[in-house]
Structure 1
Amino acid sequence: MTESDHRRRRITLADIASACGVSSATVSLVLSGSPAVAASTRKRVEAEIVRQGYVYNRSAANLRRKISSSVAVVINDLSNPFVAEFAAGVDEALAEAGCVMLLGSSGESVERQRAVLQSLIEHGPAGVILTPAEGSKVSDLQPVVGLHTPLLLFNREVPEAKWDYLGADNVAGARMATEHLLAQGHTRIAFFGGHRDSSSCRQRVEGYLSALAEAGISPEPRWMVECAPTRMQAATATAALFARDPAPTAAVTYNDGVALGLMMGLRARNITPGRDFAITGFDDIPEAHAQVPALTTLATGPRALGRQAVGLVLGRGNKPDLPARRTISPVSLVTRDSSLTYAHPLEAPAGKAAKRKSRRTGEPA
């Protein structure tokens, strides 16, 4: 075999062992850091590993040991700050468990999701954490993931799925946001952003509608505006809220990205968020408190959810026969300046509009 052929061929454990005059088992002990190998032998093996450029094939080793040191994470949108915080939590927890994260993104495409999952599953992960692309079905996932790899659905549910699920309390969160706007005196409240193909969006709409119903208010269908849950799409869709009179004076938005996009769209119409129009978000991304006005939102703790997701998916590997679990994480309302406004003072509770005028002008109420 020529030197060129040797370089093209993958160097194996046996090659290192043969060059050093030791067994493959000894080389394996050196790679695992075992103290059972004599210092002189360890030094000779390590030098040969460097000389030959051997790369440890962890997947093959895990296959032999019937374990895996990785977890696959497939999310729907890499640009979403909420997802970034969630992935950071996953990575922290996996590092503590001695594992690594295999990360992929579907870009909201069911076809792309299938391809990414198939590629990552080939690495034999201990489990999969998946935020499903909109429109995902069991039939899209089951043939790829198989029956034996633990799968945790995060943030979005899949109809008729029998896998574990972890998500924020979307219904309660949207209800709290709507009740907060009602308490500020708003009665013309929109639900803005997201697609009804997403279970999280449907659940947040459910919370919004239940709060309106408890207040005796009938929802206005044209104030329920769908759009992709991104900043730019939300800015473009803002016009739909003002297509006809009367227009809403406040909005519960699908997530913080949508809320920030709505702020952009309002400013383009010379409407000042937090003064002329009240807004709530959902997720409490790091950017929310730095906005002007700072965004009222629902804190979901995405980094903590990431850590929780790791515990659930690794735990499932130890208990494969237990029934699927649905874990709902509580959320909390964080009140900031974007929602403390009265676009129409006559709609505000008695005394509150006068107090607000006093704060603006310095005059006694």
Structure 2
Amino acid sequence: SELDRSRQTFILSNHYDQLEKQRTFIDTLLQLGADGVIMSPAIGTPAEDIVMAEDNGLPAVLIARSVAGADVPVFRGDDAYGTALATNHLISLGHKRIAMIGGTDQTSTGRDRYQGYLNAMEAAGLEVRPSWRIAGPRTKQAGFEAAGQFLALKDKPTAACCWNDLVAIGLMNGIARAGLVPGVDISVTGYDDLEEAAIATPALTTVWNGQREVGRRAASALLDKLNGQTVRPSQELIKPELHVRQSTGKPVERG
């Protein structure tokens, strides 16, 4: 919307976390003489790739994820704070055994969201068991498949804090397939507040991560760079908000 308002022509590309696909797209932009690029960097993106783009006249701004050593502006949600919001909400309902499902330590997003979960659990004096972290899932299908592993945990967590809404919705489907009621038998939280979250069954308690504001500020910063203004290569965090719906409730012990 910000680029359109400024009458800029833009191209969208999804790298699906494939580094070579991202590099091919950057090369294409350079060949086309593009003015700049806003990137959510693929897993494993080295700072050198971003430096190369800038050195070749393609100013870069990062969103959602940061890359160590990349001296460019970064705009993203405060992921640690946001996941702490969701975890603290579950704790306030009485949950003590809370699993964290999804994400990867290979991205700043995955690391920060898991750290927010740890921070909340430790601040409440609650135990965190390694088995309660089911890393990896990032899609609805992967969340659905993780339900079996989650339900098989011997200590039977009563709630799951999920890395994103897709994982949460997939997990709820898996829980329902096993004959349990998400939001009643097991509480589930998501992250991102996608449109689908509000119409899921049950409606998903989730964290709004300021995506629209992240996009607006990133586009504004890139336009400022293109207009010759000085833009500090700093990281700006947007504060998330918790949106409570039907997928969370008081803990229920499973037999």
TM-score calculated relative to the size of structure 1:
0.66
**In 2 relative to 1, CA 301–244 (structure 1 residues): closer, same or farther, beyond 3 Å?**
closer
Whether the aligned pair in 2 keeps the contact of 1:212 and 1:219 (CA below 8 Å) is yes
Higher helix share: 1
Structure 1, residues 266-322: CA drift from partner, whole Å, max 9, x if none? 112212110100011111111111111100011123233222221011112335655
The answer to whether 1:342 aligns with 2:251 is yes
Whether the aligned pair in 2 keeps the contact of 1:105 and 1:116 (CA below 8 Å) is no
What's 1:7 paired with? none
AA in 2 matched with 1:225 = I
Whether the aligned pair in 1 keeps the contact of 2:62 and 2:218 (CA below 8 Å) is no
What's 2:108 paired with? 199
What's 2:29 paired with? 120
- The structural deviation recorded for 1:325 is 1.8
- The structural deviation recorded for 1:238 is 1.9
Mean Cα deviation higher: 128-137 or 317-326: 317-326
What's the secondary structure of 1:328's corresponding residue?
strand
What's 1:219 paired with? 128
What's the secondary structure of 2:62's corresponding residue?
strand
What's the secondary structure of 2:242's corresponding residue?
strand
Q: How does 1:177-326 map to 2 (within 5 A)?
A: 177-319=86-228, 322-326=231-235
Runs of 4+ in 1 over 3 A off after TM superposition: 318-323
AA in 1 matched with 2:173 = M
What's the secondary structure of 2:220's corresponding residue?
helix
Whether the aligned pair in 1 keeps the contact of 2:143 and 2:170 (CA below 8 Å) is yes
What's 2:62 paired with? 153
AA in 2 matched with 1:165 = V
1:146 and 1:273 map into 2 onto residues whose CA distance is 51
AA in 1 matched with 2:179 = N
| Structure number with bigger Rg | 1
**Identity of matched residues, %:** 32
2:167 and 2:228 map into 1 onto residues whose CA distance is 39
- The structural deviation recorded for 1:337 is 0.7
Unaligned ranges ≥5, structure 2 = none
What's the secondary structure of 1:298's corresponding residue?
strand
- Of 116, 132, 142, 2:41 maps to 132
2:48 and 2:149 map into 1 onto residues whose CA distance is 36
**In 2 relative to 1, CA 198–268 (structure 1 residues): closer, same or farther, beyond 3 Å?**
same
AA in 2 matched with 1:281 = G
**In 2 relative to 1, CA 277–226 (structure 1 residues): closer, same or farther, beyond 3 Å?**
same
What's 1:102 paired with? 11
TM-score calculated relative to the size of structure 2:
0.94
Question: Larger relative contact order (C-alpha < 8 A, sep ≥ 6)?
Answer: 2
Structure 1, residues 173-195: CA drift from partner, whole Å, max 9, x if none? 00111100000000000110111
Structure 1, residues 230-275: CA drift from partner, whole Å, max 9, x if none? 0001111222223331121101110111111111111122121101
Q: How does 1:3-42 map to 2 (within 5 A)?
A: none
2:159 and 2:90 map into 1 onto residues whose CA distance is 7
- The structural deviation recorded for 1:210 is 0.5
Unaligned ranges ≥5, structure 1 = 1-91, 346-365
Aligned length: 254
AA in 2 matched with 1:205 = Y
- The structural deviation recorded for 1:215 is 0.5
